[in-house]
Amino acid sequence: MRRALVRVERFVWFALLLGLCASPAWADRASGTTTGLLELRGDYYWETSTRVLAPSARLRLDLPDGLSLDGEYLLDSVTSASVAAGALTDSGFTERRNDASLGAAYEFDLGQAALAFSLHGTFSKEPDYRSLSGSFGAALSLNDRASVLRFSLGYLHDDVGQVFRTGTGARPDPMGGVAGSFSENLEAFTSSAGLDQVLTPTLTASVSYDFGRVSGFLASPYRRLLLADGTRRAENHPDLRLRHTVSGRLAWYVRATHSAIHVAYRAYVDSWRIAAITPEVRLYQELGGHRTLRLRYRYYAQNRASFYKPADQYTADDTLISVDPKMSAFHSHLLGLKMMLDLSFLEHSVLESFAAATVDMNFEYIWNTNRYGDGVIASVGLRLPF
């Protein structure tokens, strides 16, 4: 039975490959026009002890021979008074993270099918952290792109350091040491597979599965716990984490009201015994006059990691210690409002080159039950196809 199953499987794989190869000739790409997209964004995040300002610019070029190139630069400017971020006193500090990425993709046009490959690399640097990552992706489009199968593999290597801020240069605790003496690594392997499917003329569905293996130093180099006996302990998390995520999305266009409804759901579980759910609804309403309004609601809930306890319950016998609010059981609600305006009304004006652009403004509020407290996300963006 098993052997027969294997034979059937091999035959179907062979037939599929043959079908792809026998598809009609490659599409004509002789128009010779290079198109692309320029995106400029300003994102902002606020919570009680942290503010993040993140301007970014992204450029994508689609060349006539099927090659796409893209590059992105992002500056994270973080102002924080959080001990977890390295502050030694109550006064805040600001640090900057520079993040640059480059990517290339090529699509083989196979008639009713298409096969695309992509490579992507990212480098990120901040005073106490350096990250280098790369990924490879493949996407197989079938049935005139009604079905798209996606696969990706990624690798990440981080160097974790420690910088003393707004203080004397030495941590005021027995774990402290001196600046520059802390050096750890973090590695991650990621893989994902997904399917995007057109179901009806107004309904699409997407499903995906992500797996991540993260190892190395997975705690914060700054967080400390004060035990009941007065001793201080550094945060210590397990050095391996296996993460599984299944997510899905349905998008439905309602012709009668010119609305689009997106319903998404994500289920997550990892080897630290954290399980989480994330349902989300987005409603896009076309308002006429080039405007679209988006309402968004997102709920998030998780249980605690197996080694997480309230701070006053840790004892000197505990080897795994966490002071990370992300490891606790909590939930959050996010409510957001976004307005998008397409600038097609600029046609036949002196600003005609911006007529294909859209601008958006977004505001979201997060009610969070853990120690981070409530948060705000706000952003403005310009999207200019050319």
Query: Which residues between 94 and 123 bind other proteins (CB under 8 A)?
Result: 97, 99, 122
Q: How far is the CB of 24 from other proteins (least distance, A)?
A: 15
Residue 3 binds to other proteins (criterion: CB under 8 A): no
From the list 25-33, 130-138, 313-321, 343-351, the region that binds other proteins by CB under 8 A is: 130-138
Instruction: List the structure tokens of 227.
Output: 């035990």
Nearer to other proteins, 176 or 332 (CB): 332
Q: Which is nearer to other proteins, 178 or 203 (CB)?
A: 203
User: According to CB under 8 A, which one of 105, 107, 110, 154 is a site residue for other proteins?
Assistant: 154
Q: How many CA atoms, within 13 angstroms, populate the side-chain half-sphere of residue 249?
A: 16
Q: Please list every residue from 243 through 272 that binds other proteins, using CB under 8 A.
A: 243-245, 247, 249, 251, 253, 255, 259-260, 262, 266, 268, 270, 272
Among residues 87, 105, 100, which one has the least CA distance to residue 50?
A: 87
Exposed, middle or buried, 14 (CB in 10 Å: 0-12/13-18/19+)? exposed
Distance CA 123, CA 140 (A): 28
Confirm or reject binding of residue 333 to other proteins (CB under 8 A).
Answer: no
Quick note: the x/- pattern for other proteins over 294-313, rule CB under 8 A, is x-----x-x--x--------
Of the two residues 171 and 266, which places its CB atom closer to other proteins in the complex? 266
Q: Which is nearer to other proteins, 204 or 236 (CB)?
A: 204
22-to-19, 89, 94, 146, 147 alpha-carbon distances in Å = 5, 68, 58, 19, 18
User: Is residue 43 close enough to count as binding other proteins by CB under 8 A?
Assistant: yes
Q: Which contacts qualify for 247-256: CB closer than 8 Å, 24 or more apart?
A: 247/207, 247/208, 247/210, 248/205, 248/206, 248/207, 248/208, 249/205, 249/206, 249/207, 250/203, 250/204, 250/205, 251/203, 251/204, 251/205, 251/206, 252/202, 252/203, 253/202, 253/203, 254/202, 255/202
Question: Quick check: helix, strand or coil at residue 310?
Answer: coil
Closest CA to 141 of 117, 113, 106, 118: 113
Among 129, 297, 363, 365, binds other proteins (CB under 8 A): 129
SS3 of residue 51 by DSSP: strand
- Please, which residues have CB within 8 angstroms of residue 338's CB and are 6 or more apart in sequence? 293, 294, 296, 360, 361, 362, 363
Q: Is 146 in the site for other proteins (CB under 8 A)?
A: yes
Provide the mask over 64-83, with x wherever binding to other proteins is found by CB under 8 A and - wherever it is not.
------------x-x-----
Is there binding between residue 284 and other proteins (CB under 8 A)?
A: yes
In sign, the C-alpha dihedral spanning 82, 87, 90, 94 is: negative
The region of 27-35, 176-184, 310-318, 378-386 touching other proteins under the rule CB under 8 A is: 378-386
Which tokens is 348 given? 């036949």
**Which of 102-110, 176-184, 224-232, 318-326 is the region at the interface with other proteins (rule: CB under 8 A)?**
318-326
What are the structure tokens assigned to 220, written together? 């914060």
- Taking the complex as a whole, how short is the minimal distance between the CB of residue 214 and other proteins, in angstroms? 5
User: What's the closest the beta carbon of residue 92 comes to other proteins, in angstroms?
Assistant: 16
Q: Is 186 in the site for other proteins (CB under 8 A)?
A: yes
Of residues 197-226, which lie at the interface with other proteins (CB under 8 A)?
197-202, 204, 206, 208, 210-212, 214, 218-220
Binding range to other proteins, per CB under 8 A, among 61-69, 171-179, 344-352, 372-380: 372-380
In sequence order, the β-bridge partners of residue 365 are 335, 376
- 278 near other proteins (CB under 8 A): yes
Per CB under 8 A, the list member of 49, 56, 236, 271 interacting with other proteins is 56
323 binds other proteins (CB under 8 A): no
